[in-house]
Structure 1
Amino acid sequence: MSPRPPTPEFYTADSFTKEPSIGWLLRQIKQSMICQADKLLGAHDLTHAQWAPMLRLRFHGPMSSAALARELAMDGGAMTRLLDRLEAKNLVQRERSTEDRRVVMVSLTDHGQNAMARAPAVLSQVSNEHLAGFTHEEFRTLIGLLQRVVANGQAIRDGGNASDSSSLSCSTEDDS
């Protein structure tokens, strides 16, 4: 494992504001993309709360409800309520694990698979619209830079290399 690069001082407490903050900008981008995807997927009776876990199941296959909740940064109760709604719409099914009865496995039904068949095209459209005016080179550069930020975050989380963060547990989201 290679050592982490030195931490720069792009931000300081004296000059910190939300506008040029990477966290604020990434949040604004995420919210905009979710809003646009919701508009398009809403025509198919799917909300972000519904299509986000279904997208993970589409790409990663069946997973435990606890793992799904962790990936979406949701508490177990909220995940159970969401899965109840998705199950009532016949989009997902839950089954107890045969190896460990405490584990509930979640998978897409055939109806759920069909509903999610549209999602990659919609999410591609939304992503491309947000990248209007970018060249292929700029796009590749942006992806590379964001991957570095993600890798730095993982290194901090794994190595506890941020001030007083060793006791914090955080999860990440993807496929949005």
Structure 2
Amino acid sequence: MTSSSAPSAPRPGFYSAGHLPPEDSVGYLMRKVMSSIRTQADAQLSTHDLTYAQWLPLFKISLSANTTVASLARDLETDPAAMTRALDRLEAKGLVVRERSTTDRRVVQLALTPEGQAVADKVPPVLADVLNTHLSDFTHDEWQLLLRLLRRMLVNGEALRQPRSTDAD
């Protein structure tokens, strides 16, 4: 009996359980870079009395006209309770309003107030500055290569989530 698909090529062995130093771990380095980006953005946005847990949801809401509490929590990879607490603080500051859906009472839509939009508009220039600083000695080609490599890693990771098909005979 023959299989309808060719066997997959062996995966390269960049890491092993016995040798995994953090300074060479892609995951560790990406986490450290993200922490640095977040810390620098936080420092600049703190002048607007915003923390990471507040400016990131504001920014994400500003990008979409149809944001719900549940979709925002999923997008930011946080639990709904933590998202609700962050939104409570943003609402208390007069930056966000929540409106219950008229068709499904379980759905809560989010919108920025005019003041919330003004604050959200301050995020992109800060993020651009922070990201450009982190990439300051990269060439344009290196930046594009980094983006391509990270996208490939995302595709590879997404493939791990897909159920593997088995040939039934």
TM-score bin (small chain): 0.7 to 0.9
1:91 is matched with 95
Q: Which of 14, 25, 42 pairs up with 1:10?
A: 14
2:142 is matched with 138
- Which has more radius of gyration? 2
Which residues in structure 2 correspond to 1:21-170 (within 5 Å)?
A: 21-157=25-161, 159-160=162-163
Unmatched 5+ stretches in structure 1 = 162-176
TM-score, normalised by the number of residues in structure 2: 0.88
| Residue type at the aligned position of 2:33 | I
More RCO (CA 8 Å, sep 6+): 1
| Residue type at the aligned position of 2:57 | P
| CA–CA separation in structure 2 for the residues paired with 1:114 and 1:143 | 30
| CA–CA separation in structure 1 for the residues paired with 2:112 and 2:163 | 36
**CA deviation string 1:108-163 (max 9, x = no partner):** 11111000111111100000000011111111111111111111112222x146xx
Report the alpha carbon displacement of residue 6 of structure 1 after superposing the two structures with TM: 5.1
TM-score, normalised by the number of residues in structure 1: 0.84
| CA–CA separation in structure 2 for the residues paired with 1:12 and 1:128 | 34
Closer/same/farther in 2, CA of residues 59 and 6 from structure 1, 3 Å limit: farther
Q: Which moved more, 1:4-13 or 1:99-108?
A: 4-13
What SS does structure 2 have at the residue aligned with 1:43? helix
Q: Which of 24, 33, 38 pairs up with 1:20?
A: 24
Report the alpha carbon displacement of residue 8 of structure 1 after superposing the two structures with TM: 2.0
The number of residues matched between the two structures is 158
Residues 62, 108 of structure 1: 8 Å contact kept: no
Unmatched 5+ stretches in structure 2 = 1-5, 165-169
**What is the alpha-carbon root mean square deviation over aligned residues?**
1.7
Closer/same/farther in 2, CA of residues 62 and 5 from structure 1, 3 Å limit: farther
